[in-house]
Amino acid sequence: MSKGFARGRTALTRNGRPSTTKFGWVYKDPRWKAVRKLVLERDKWRCTNCGCSVRTKFAARVDHIVAVSADISLAFTITNLRTLCVPCDAVRHMEKGGGGRAVERKGVDEDGWPIADG
């Protein structure tokens, strides 16, 4: 019996849960994954606000400068994106959270990655 079929990748859960955000699909789009990586590399895996390193997996957030709800055409535009650390991202969302949308916590963050809740 051969073993070694373990795959190196962990697929994101695809359990068909509806997104609670209108633009949740953006973060599941292959273009998002690609551009997100470009942004992180462009910003050298540092928060563009405070400069701290976001190299650990759950520390990196990529933020839309112009929110996707304001202009969906900028959703995958690298110049509209910036790297933030989790604390700066939280502040940013509080600042722009005029609609009362709190940071949602349901196991996966906006980027589609599992939340490591502390």
Looking at the Cβ atoms of 73 and 115, the one nearer to Zn ion is 115
* β-strand partners of 84: 61
Give the Cα separation of 62 and 85 in Å (integer): 8
Pick from 12, 34, 38, 50: which binds Zn ion (CB under 5 A)?
50
Report the first-to-last Cα separation within the chain, whole angstroms. 41
Does residue 62 belong to the site contacting Zn ion (CB under 5 A)?
no
Does residue 86 belong to the site contacting Zn ion (CB under 5 A)?
no
CB of 52 to Zn ion, least distance (A): 5
Residues whose CB is less than 8 angstroms from the CB of residue 17 and which lie 6 or more positions away in sequence, other chains included: 106
Pick from 39, 60, 75, 88: which binds Zn ion (CB under 5 A)?
88
